[in-house]
Amino acid sequence: MALWFFGNLYEEVVLVPNQLTNSYERLQHWQHFIVISNPIYFYVPFTPLAVLSTCLLYFRVSDIQQKRFLKRASVFGILGIIIGVVIITQINFKIFFGDLDKYRDQLFILSVMWLIGNAIRLYFVGSSLYYIFKTYILCHQNVEYKKT
């Protein structure tokens, strides 16, 4: 979950704002740069696994408070995946992997939409990560309590 959050935070702060000027030229450079490797290889296996792991932990824990935190983390994670699918299918395929000439007049707006959608996704993923950390802290507090 942390990989997902900080990866998208990096894109929000560093990568995509550069597309807001000379969008067509910037995205051409992006498409020429991303040839062998691809952000998909980073995000696709880890994001669903993170959410799936969180959901599975929800069913495995018995502590009521941990269960409540993991339920919230799972819901926020699922919302993050849902908005991620929308961003990928409606925006990323056009601006990062599509025919830029076809979308030339829309590239700036699509980049702004990406930034807004990603900010919402960051909220969901960050909230999920927050509740995962709360669960972790609670779990370790319970372990320390049981030792004493």
DSSP conformational letter for 36: S
Residue extents of the structural domains in the chain? 2-147
Q: What is the mean pLDDT of each run of 10 residues along the chain (148 residues)?
A: 94 93 93 82 86 96 96 98 96 93 96 97 98 93 61
Which pLDDT does position 9 carry in this prediction?
97
For residue 99, give Cα distances in angstroms to 13, 54, 108, 121, 132: 25, 37, 15, 25, 39
Which pLDDT does position 134 carry in this prediction?
96
Which pLDDT does position 56 carry in this prediction?
97
Please give the model's pTM, rounded to 2 decimal places: 0.89
For residue 119, give Cα distances in angstroms to 35, 87, 112, 139: 27, 11, 11, 30
Q: How far is 84 from 4, CA to CA, in rounded Å?
A: 11
Helix (H), strand (E) at residue 128: helix 107-147
